[in-house]
Structure 1
Amino acid sequence: MVWLGVDLGNARVGLALSDPELTLAHPAGNIAVNGDSFFALDPVITLIEEEGVDHVVVGLPLQLDGSEGRSAKKAKRWADNLKKRISGLIDDGQFALSAVPTVTLVDERLTTVSAHRLLYEAQVTGRRHRPMVDQQSAIVILQTALDSRER
């Protein structure tokens, strides 16, 4: 059993994977999307297939007051698109897994702030910092989901 965390960004989509015991999230890289996170769908589907992912946790960027803005609506469309694309691949016999992974959306308010703080505490600064923020945000999103599952 492996879970995938996804942080949708405009420049990059950050990814994190869980360990098989579902206790810890670790970085799985970034996908450059140059302004359109939908470009990440195919590489994410490939990762899901390669890693045997059975649950995908997508960050839902709610407003501070809890309402949904454009980014949250885009995240919902992205998650729906992911499920439809995988379902179509399964129907066509082009997907190694037999079922569409569960896809959930998790409130990611202040996740990027937490990611920046964690990177600064780890003394990651300068040029190395910015590309790592997206995958660090994916780690925070996934770890939050893993921790809440245990409660």
Structure 2
Amino acid sequence: MSAPWLGVDLGDARVGLALSDPELTFAHPAGNVVVQGDSFLALESVIDIIEQESVGKVVVGLPLLLDGTSGRSGRKASRWVNALKNRMSALMNEGSLNLSSIPQIQLLDERLTTVSAHRQLRDAKVSGREHRPFVDQQSAVVLLQSALDSRRTIKE
């Protein structure tokens, strides 16, 4: 049994979250953090989940352009990851974060995860109008499941 992993899908309105099971087999939705246009507002909530769930790895979506290059959103995701690391480090130094170490944080190409999330919600008979509150956390599930699956493929 391992420490669960956390998937993070950065959005402008919401940051979607997903957690793995301790066996690192399946990803499941873990909710959204409403950020009203500033994903950096989710940092404290994400840190709380990392601490509460004893997360061993964080997988953050990297929104690359279709040609594989990093645009404005990709650079913002990199800044967000750095802010997460810096904030956790500061909290650990002041003794207010109960972790033995900062978990590994990985940026992972998230191209087309939102498309997959919408498809999965449609397949689950969630009407198009009702997708909005679920699509960010479902995108985090798709992202995290991809990381879990590639981990298993590498091990095999």
Per the normalisation by structure 1, the TM-score is 0.98
Per the normalisation by structure 2, the TM-score is 0.95
Counterparts of residues 55-66 of structure 1 (less than 5 Å): 55-66=57-68
Q: 2:132 aligns with which of 130, 133, 151?
A: 130
What value does the CA root-mean-square deviation take over the aligned residues? 0.7
Q: What residue number does 2:99 align with? A: 97
Q: What residue number does 2:122 align with? A: 120
- Conservation of the 8 A alpha-carbon contact between 2:118 and 2:135: yes
Return structure 1 stretches of 4+ with deviation > 6 angstroms.
Answer: none
Per the TM alignment, residue 128 of structure 1 is displaced from its structure 2 partner at its CA by 2.6
Counterparts of residues 72-91 of structure 1 (less than 5 Å): 72-91=74-93
> Unaligned 5+ residue runs, structure 2?
none
Q: What residue number does 1:30 align with? A: 32
> Unaligned 5+ residue runs, structure 1?
none
Question: In structure 2, how many angstroms separate the alpha carbons of the residues matched to 1:3 and 1:67?
Answer: 26
Question: Aligned residues: percent identity?
Answer: 66
Aligned length: 151
Question: In structure 1, how many angstroms separate the alpha carbons of the residues matched to 2:70 and 2:8?
Answer: 18
Which amino acid in the other structure matches residue 29 of structure 1?
G
Q: 1:10 aligns with which of 9, 12, 18?
A: 12
